[in-house]
Chain A
């Protein structure tokens, strides 16, 4: 169950923001994907710190999971077995090896014009990254609008965000460090 903690304001303000955060994340379908959310308010500066940790219960999908890969005369033959990933596989191979090195002979068969054993472990789709992007998008609706000076610190299964309407200060980074320790346990 998602845990949302808000601190730094009055009890009423904290509860109000906590409820807004919970309702907004649940309505967007991201409630079940979050392990913990901590919001720390420093209204004096003013600054909002938000620490989010996702539930990382889904492994990223690598090429080996969805394709049959064989060496064939100094090339790698990749036969994609799941139609929904055709576009993503090609896009990923282009981004890593360049368009010149990738040939699509049939709809589900792609040749890489070089030998590379690491190709099997290329990440094709990572749900965690999608959750990260969608959570950040939702956060813009939760955080006060005027706090447009923003700084992120990302880690594998979450991130810390500081939002403020003044130029960034050294104090922010100390608080970010403390929050990271708290949320990662």
Chain B
């Protein structure tokens, strides 16, 4: 009966995972136990046989099929404004097709920004806004006054034809 710790050392030895001390300990044990020695020999042969099984070559089509199946624009990253300005200041010395596209985009963006600024300047300084102070047009804002009228009293109420009532009585 091989002790469990020795069985583990046998397997680890086959996998090259033993420390030098563990290897030495195992070799000492193997020299005394022929059953353990046989087990070690068989497992070592098994590992050698598996190592000799050739690796299969994948078809050359795998890459082609994969690349045709995936979306090339899935990870197309949008540059933030900081990066955008950085690249404007430090242009790529070797512009590619992509940077030409970026250049076109930047022209459109800059044109748009320029037009927006021109509109703002025009309305801020050139457009003839009405003068803020013109007589009769000033307005004031204050607390609204509560309208109070005099209350109607009994003396203000006169019923018509009061003489008639005395006739009935």
Partners in one complex: no
